[in-house]
Structure 1
């Protein structure tokens, strides 16, 4: 009889513990969703010769950046993709993910310097290891001799 009572108590405690875990998971999910709320949106455009790049950048409550970028570069197909990253000081380090051709997915690292109301797309040394491309940490990023300088523009939803 004692074993039966002890078994019932153990099962009850296990059930209560799983309820606590569910509550903690819900709290974690709610905090994550709150951090991913959009605080502000800014649009930019860069024009260089016949190239035009449009960038819509959302600043999230948790400080991260999300958005989308459309690249119309002369001589190549239009690239439409998502950008995600975060600022380190005045530099935005982000990944640009887009699909090209037969659903071939690409992910390119980018660095933008925020200077006044302008974003400057830097040129850095890239390296690919195990299929992942990244900017080399020990090599400086050039923000002086660049093609694309993004100026703010009014956001237009299509």
Structure 2
């Protein structure tokens, strides 16, 4: 057990040094996935990019291979972020309205996440660790909040809110 912890620590340090120094991510183990998770600093919008009342912010980080991301925003003060580490993952965010935030973070292989928001002052977040998980949030209305976090493999979840 101690040997596995040492190996995991070495992998994590190697991955973090890759992010800090810009070398491409190479991961041999995509089933555990905790070794692919970045620190909280990648899950927060970068400083100085909070956006103003008339601006949009779209931020995408992808590490790995064959990942796909789509982010579409129509309205005012919309913020979207997609972070993917691993391979063969798909993420999409569609926002229409005013002052909304959506964030998707996926670590693993074959995960899929979608957020659709229409209205004002809505927030949605999906975080997935593992393989072949699927998550979708659909929100139509004002002042709606949703969050999904999945650990493991082969899980599916759908959240729908209308007001």
Normalised to the residue count of structure 1, the TM-score between the two structures is: 0.29
Q: Which has the higher strand share?
A: 2
Structure of larger gyration radius: 1
Q: Which has the higher helix share?
A: 1
